[in-house]
Amino acid sequence: MGRGTVQVLLLLGLLHWGPGGEGRKNWRRRGQQPAAAAAARERSEATGQPVESFPLDFTAVEGNMDSFMAQIKSLAQSLYPCSAQNLHHELRLHLLLNSSVTCNDGSPAGYYLKESKGSRRWLLFLEGGWYCFNRENCDTRYDTMRRLMSSKEWPITKTGTGILSSQPEENPHWWNANMVFIPYCSSDVWSGASSKSEKNEYAFMGALIIEEVVKELVGKGLSNAKVLLLAGSSAGGTGVLLNVDRVAEQLEEMGYQGIQVRGLADSGWFLDNKQYRRTDCIDTITCAPTEAIRRGIRYWNGIVPERCKLQFKEGEEWNCFFGYKIYPTLRCPVFVVQWLFDEAQLTVDNVHLTGQPVQEGQWLYIQNLGRELRNTLKDVTASFAPACLSHEIITRNHWTDIQVKGTSLPRALHCWDRSLHDSNKNGKAPLKGCPIHLIDSCPWPHCNPSCPTIRDQFTGQEMNVIQFLMHMGFDVQKMAQQQGLEPSKLLGMLSSGS
């Protein structure tokens, strides 16, 4: 009998002889229908009460442990009503009670919540979705992406995925947390503090929305939290860097000093580098990142953390929107997740991979981008940076598949949790075999074999890493010569992700 089977049988014993100790539930193999149980079912149907019946197929232990564990989970939730909350995987919409804190168009901002009774961990997720920085491109955004500027058509419920999933198979370490999804409707990288008025066609209240959500959640159980993880992707990831200390300070001022506030920034660590090809600043796609944020922060009345603001001259607060500049000023621990070849970064740098082979200059620029980004992460304590061409990861249902140096992202986050717990407890060094600083060292996009699948933009067919690099104009002969390798050996290294 395997160790897993023993653990399961022990769990069954604990559940059977757990609180109450009376073994009131009926345990039997599938298909067995004792007379007492049948009578109980008839009584239950007559009174409209739920039937207490938990058939278990013990043959599953021999063939499919996953299937058997799924039955155990369902049984445990049925036995303990407080944990049955986890059966409802959807997050439900709550519009803010303070109607003066709004989306761009003046409609009330809000959040989606799925409570997990008994859990003292809270995960607040900031949605991403670019931004706009003047009347013209905000008007265009309103016409084409209205749900990112208004709450009027938000659905009543949402299903969490990735780190917001309530399924332990998809979200191994955070599935049982209280989940909060805060939709992005302020178009200001979660930094704005200006309301709609006769002078201002749009409100930009991203920073105030976070503040108001935290206030409301305190009355819904956040006051009893042990850990609050402020997470976000893309513009939401940058929003984490801008707001994680503010959330910690807000809770301290409200008298909740015991809550450990942490940040998880996904795909929001942008570089203020020189564009591959300079273009006029018309919208967020064509405008250099520094210029777009410089204009935006004035238009939004954007606010940045005071500790970062003091590092720069007046009028230079835009620097705080770039991860490697704000990170050293943060007090709260932050875990940074960043693709080394981020698609959004390449877009604002005017490297457009349209399916045509890239030019040599573009290829060198892309490789250099990976090096630059890698260098900015070298002093980040907790990081996960795969050498992939992609954007956003933590709410994707395949987020468990990506690995760096043999460690998955959920595993790295779990190691980070443990390291923070241990350091708070007794100042221990990071745990052996539990790495939290994971940065790919291979130099090309998708040289990591666990990268997400790439498809040909024209045919829709999947491409392996060699096909992808060839597609981009990668010269195997020339690159092998530069590396002092035989072309066949280089191809073998690429296939294995070396």
Q: Say if residue 121's pLDDT is above 80.
A: yes
| Nearest Cα to Cα of residue 268 among 211, 212, 209, 191 | 191
pLDDT given at position 444: 84
Please report the DSSP string for 18-63 in residue order: STTSS--S---BTT---HHHHHHHHHHHHHTPPP----B-TTHHHH
3-class DSSP state of 270: coil
Strand partners, 230: 124, 263
DSSP structural state of residue 281: -
* Whole-angstrom distance, CA of residue 59 vs CA of residue 5: 11
Q: pTM of the predicted model, to two decimals? A: 0.79
pLDDT at 82: 46
Choose between 439 and 37: higher pLDDT.
Answer: 439
Q: What is the pLDDT of residues 146-202, one digit of tens each?
A: 999 999 999 999 999 999 999 999 999 999 999 999 999 999 999 999 998 777 899
Q: What percent of the chain has pLDDT over 70?
A: 72
Residue 249 has pLDDT above 90, yes or no: yes
Of 486 and 328, the one with more pLDDT: 328
| Dist. CA 438–CA 325, nearest whole Å | 20
Residues 237, 265: contact at Cβ < 8 Å?
Answer: yes
Nearest partner of 339 among 396, 296, 285, judged by Cα: 396
Contacts of 259 (CB under 8 A, 6+ apart): 222, 225, 226, 227, 228, 248, 251
Q: How confident is the model at residue 47 (pLDDT cuts 50, 70, 90)?
A: very low
Mean pLDDT is highest, among 320-334, 358-372, 455-469, for 320-334
Of 116, 151, 234, 408, the active-site residue reads: 234
The answer to whether the Cα torsion of 396, 398, 399, 400 is positive or negative is: positive
pLDDT of residue 458: 56
The answer to which of 172-181, 359-368, 424-433 has the lowest mean pLDDT is 424-433
Least confident of 6-20, 367-381, 446-460: 6-20
| Residue 460 confidence (pLDDT) above 70 | no
Under the banding of pLDDT at 50, 70 and 90, the label for residue 486 is confident
Residue with the two structure tokens 């064509």: 286
The answer to whether residue 234 is catalytic is yes
pLDDT exceeds 70 at position 320 = yes
User: Of how many residues is the chain composed?
Assistant: 498
CA torsion, ordered 474, 477, 483, 484, to nearest 10 deg: 170
The one catalytic residue in 191, 391, 408, 419 is: 391
Closest among 277, 281, 290 to 351, alpha carbons compared: 277
Look at residue 484 in the predicted model and tell me its pLDDT.
Answer: 72
CA distance 175 to 375: 33
Helical (H) or strand (E) element with 75? helix 65-79
Query: What pLDDT was estimated at residue 453?
Result: 81
Among 54, 75, 55, 53, residue whose Cα is nearest residue 8: 75
In 34-159 the beta strands, taken as DSSP E runs, fall at 90-95, 110-114, 121-126, 157-159
Q: Please, how many CA atoms are within 13 Å of residue 280, restricted to the half-sphere of its CB?
A: 1
Lowest mean pLDDT among 241-245, 310-314, 364-368, 490-494: 490-494
Of 245, 342, 349, 417, the catalytic one is: 342
Residue 469 — very low, low, confident or very high, per pLDDT cuts 50/70/90? low
Task: Give counts: helices (H), strands (E), the chain.
Answer: 16, 16
pLDDT in tens, 389-413: 999 999 999 999 999 999 999 999 9
Question: How would residue 433 be classed by pLDDT, with cut points 50, 70 and 90?
Answer: confident
- pLDDT, tens digit (0-9, with 9 covering 90-100), for 86-97: 445 799 999 999
The confidence band for 475, taking pLDDT boundaries of 50, 70 and 90, is low
Per the model's pLDDT, the better-predicted residue between 5 and 149 turns out to be 149
Angstrom CA distances, 112 to 91, 156, 159, 181, stand at: 5, 9, 10, 5
What is the separation of C-alpha 227 from the centre of its chain, rounded to a whole number of angstroms?
16
Average pLDDT over residues 244-252: 98
